[in-house]
Structure 1
Amino acid sequence: MKTVVLKEFGEVNNFEFAEVDLPVIKSDEVLIRIMATAFNPLDYQMRKGLREKELMVGSILGVEFSGIIAQAGQDVKGFKIGDQVIACSIQKGSNGSYAEFIALSFHELVHKPENIDFEMAASIPVSGMTAWSCYNRMNYKADERIFINGASGGVGRFLILLLKHYKINNIVVTAGNPESINTLKELGILETNIIDYNSPDFEQLILKANQGKEFDHVVDLVGGEISETTARVLKINGNYLDVTFFGTQTTREILFDKAANILNIAVYAEIETNKFLRIITELIAADEITVPNVNVVGNLSAETVRKAHDLMERNHTRGKKLVMVNS
């Protein structure tokens, strides 16, 4: 089968095209023809050899996809040849999703909602489950206020959709370019609650949008120095949802001084039964929430993978999940 493999840790030019043997399925596995694969920041962190490399199962990266079942083992239940499925394959599949096929246990699958295409479906697993974990663990109470740092990305958009679905509107967010601002406005965020992180008085504007008060919950989807601002606008004993693990030493000190509840959101810790993914797909299938727009970067090739990694690293995704298709 056709794949894109990583020769060694480092830059994007370390990806190359390769032909490898088709995976052989076990009795509880299915062989899936991958129709679309979504790119995730986890991917380039693996490529660089950062701590996420521990999640790698080989030289083929990619952790989320949609596809069609081509073969099914004798112990597979609830799925059959021809079914359209989606999955988050972290540590579970025969290989990553930068490939034509993958072997995976049926326990890791959910059926693709019929009302969306393969490209949109591929973008759901990591972003959708991470957003659900954020919503679920913040344990929101009536009239509490939420600040989301980096809301125009895949997780942020899904989280906004979920919060809006559950009638939660007390949301302040950040954005840094016109495309991201428009995306957030389309999701129902008030323009007065969208703060440009390029503003010199960034932190004061965030608090002003909350009537000068600190927030009950803050969600950090960015990391780095800007996470320090995210920590400073949190109230004493508030919830700090860390999705990146990229906060600074100063961030940790601020949160300690505020006696904050630090909620580490690591979706790969909670995918055993795909409960979260099933909840998300059921909401989508019922037209209760939509899927954020995607950007189809190209067909399965080393060139497409290099381009997608470059766009993610330079933060040039413009508020859209990047997707690669198998034609």
Structure 2
Amino acid sequence: MHLVTQRSFGGPEVLEPAAADRPRPLLNEVLVRVRAAGVNPIDAHVRSGTIPLLGPPPFVVGWDVSGVVEEVAPGVTRFAVGDEVFGMPLMPRAAGGYAEYVTAPSRQLARKPASLDHPHAAALPLAGLTAWQALVDAAGVGAGQRVLVHAGGGGVGHLALQMARARGAEVLTTASAAKADFVRALGAAEVIDYRGMDFADAARDVDVVLDTVGGDTALRSLDVLRPGGTLVTIVEMRNAELARAAADRGLRCLGVTAEPDHVGLAALADLADSGALRVHLAHTLPLSDAARAHRLIESGSTMGKVVLIP
């Protein structure tokens, strides 16, 4: 099969096409013919070595996949050959998503949303599960709340603001002026141009903040929360100073990183099929253009997601 690998840490140029034997599924696993693979910021961090999840190269990055089941190992009862599935298997261990085939535990996959093609479905798992586990599982966002989503035009942000709105919350978001119309169309009631104003002056009485930026943005987000409010961060999970600052003010600070979850995937599929969740694809590229895909996501200006097609 064709795949994209790397033999050293470095910039996008270290990603190179290669060939390897097709993997074989173990007990309780399925073999999936990948029709599309999502590209996420974590892929670039692993590639560069700034977040060395997979140890030293060589390895194949990528977790988000959508495809068709081609082989079912003993122990699998959820899927049959020919089923269309999507997911984010094995995170944070290697899934090898930038390839024509992957193997995955069956309970880390779900049936692909019927309303989405494979590229849109492949763009959903990691960003969607991050948003779902942060807003729903951790913060319990519900009707009548005010929710601030930082970077609402990004991969996680554009899904998170739709989820919060679907659960009846009023959604505020930070975004550049160039992305303002985009996030409004997705349901943001108020858009704060972070380049032209301080979000801490513009937002008040917020129940939940989803921090996708980190650093000073995470710390200053405490200023906009109501008493008893919740900051959920997907960046500053290990920041003890931030946690103490929140506790001193009577606020909750929760660190969330996405983990494989077929229940959460099924919830995302239901939202997509109901029309409450739109996945925006900024770029769809061939697998051989993985280096270009990484340059795009590292630019910081991409609206939505980038997907590779094997």
- The TM-score with structure 2 as length reference comes to 0.90
1:73: how far off? 1.6
The equivalent position to 1:282 in structure 2, one of 264, 270, 274, is 270
User: CA 1:5–1:216 in structure 2 vs 1: closer, same or farther (change >3 Å)?
Assistant: same
User: CA 1:183–1:264 in structure 2 vs 1: closer, same or farther (change >3 Å)?
Assistant: same
C-alpha distance after superposition, 1:254-309 (max 9, x if no partner): 434423211111112xx2x5211111112323x242322112331111xx211121
User: CA 1:241–1:93 in structure 2 vs 1: closer, same or farther (change >3 Å)?
Assistant: closer
User: CA 1:127–1:100 in structure 2 vs 1: closer, same or farther (change >3 Å)?
Assistant: same
User: CA 1:142–1:177 in structure 2 vs 1: closer, same or farther (change >3 Å)?
Assistant: closer
The code of the aligned residue for 1:277 comes to: L
* Match of residue 310 from structure 1: 295
* Match of residue 287 from structure 2: 300
C-alpha distance after superposition, 1:199-239 (max 9, x if no partner): 154432x23xxxxx342211101113332332322234321
1:322 lines up with 2:310 in the alignment: no
- Give the Cα–Cα distance (whole angstroms) in 2 for the partners of residues 221 and 92 of structure 1: 19
Which residues in structure 2 correspond to 1:1-327 (within 5 Å)?
Answer: 1-51=1-51, 53-54=53-54, 59-91=59-91, 95-136=95-136, 137-140=138-141, 143-168=144-169, 170-178=170-178, 180-190=179-189, 193-204=190-201, 206-207=202-203, 213-245=204-236, 251=242, 254-268=245-259, 271=260, 273-285=261-273, 287-301=274-288, 304-317=289-302, 319-326=303-310
Q: Which runs of 5+ in 1 are unaligned?
A: 208-212
- Give the Cα–Cα distance (whole angstroms) in 2 for the partners of residues 140 and 55 of structure 1: 36
- Give the Cα–Cα distance (whole angstroms) in 2 for the partners of residues 162 and 34 of structure 1: 27
User: CA 1:102–1:288 in structure 2 vs 1: closer, same or farther (change >3 Å)?
Assistant: same
User: CA 1:259–1:8 in structure 2 vs 1: closer, same or farther (change >3 Å)?
Assistant: farther
Counterpart contact for 1:149–1:220, Cα < 8 Å: yes
Percent identity over the alignment is: 25
Counterpart contact for 1:58–1:96, Cα < 8 Å: no
C-alpha distance after superposition, 1:71-93 (max 9, x if no partner): 22233212111111101123488
CA RMSD of aligned residues (A): 2.5
Q: Answer with 222-231 or 65-74: which moved more.
A: 222-231
What secondary structure does 1:69 align onto?
strand
- Count of residues in Structure 1 that have an aligned counterpart in Structure 2: 309
- Give the Cα–Cα distance (whole angstroms) in 2 for the partners of residues 109 and 297 of structure 1: 22
1:28: how far off? 2.2
Counterpart contact for 2:66–2:122, Cα < 8 Å: yes
Counterpart contact for 2:149–2:160, Cα < 8 Å: no
1:250: how far off? 7.0
- Give the Cα–Cα distance (whole angstroms) in 1 for the partners of residues 42 and 295 of structure 2: 13
Counterpart contact for 1:89–1:96, Cα < 8 Å: no
